[in-house]
Amino acid sequence: MNSVLHFVLIPPLQVTVVNPAMDRVLSLLQKFALDAQKGKIPKDKLRFGAPWRHPPNKDDPCLRSEWAKLQLMDFIQSLVNAEFGINYFSDCSLEIFDDPSVNAMIEVGLLYVQRDPSFFRPISGAIQRCLVRWLVQERIQMSFKNSLLFQWHRVFMQINADSLGGGASSRASSSKF
């Protein structure tokens, strides 16, 4: 009975809260890419490092959409790998707040930032489960090409994280940012 009740309560939250919020996050990421293309994002912020610092250069809404979805999926996967609790002071990792995925998810209210201890995480366990469900749904719906890009992106970032020793500049690290 408890598992049936759990199943019945979560999908409406997914449909009415999380999916629309994730659509809003994707639109904020697309706006970031457009702003970067137009030069509204300082060049030193886009110079090197995490892949979000390399948005598409073309004025192509489809390409921006794909880029935004890849960035958001990568960020959610990193949250899953970090067990949904990121201590942004532990590694002097305040640069994680430069990531537009973090800012967009905080802006729409899916993540919250606490100061003592210094963590950001989903606002509830139910939202956390919905974020995982969103990621799985998106992974299932990906084209073969985008799936390969996502996997390449994850492998490349893991290699980058290993060579840098982890930290916020490498989102794909499985145990820390």
Q: What is the pLDDT of residues 3-50, one digit of tens each?
A: 444 444 446 767 778 889 999 999 999 998 888 888 887 777 665 556
Asked whether residue 176 is domain-assigned, the answer is no
Q: Measured between alpha carbons, how far is residue 49 from residues 35, 54, 114 in Å?
A: 19, 9, 26
Asked whether residue 68 is domain-assigned, the answer is yes
Asked whether residue 58 is domain-assigned, the answer is yes
Domains in the chain, number? 1
Identify the domain containing residue 120 by its residue range.
2-164
Asked whether residue 170 is domain-assigned, the answer is no
Asked whether residue 173 is domain-assigned, the answer is no
Asked whether residue 177 is domain-assigned, the answer is no
Asked whether residue 148 is domain-assigned, the answer is yes
How is residue 8 written in tokens? 């019945």
Residue 140 reports pLDDT greater than 60:
yes
Range with lowest mean pLDDT among 4-18, 82-96, 114-128, 158-172: 158-172
How is residue 141 written in tokens? 């719906």
**Contact call for residues 135 and 42 (beta carbons, < 8 A):** no
Q: What is the model's pLDDT at position 52?
A: 58
Q: Helix, strand or coil for residue 39?
A: coil
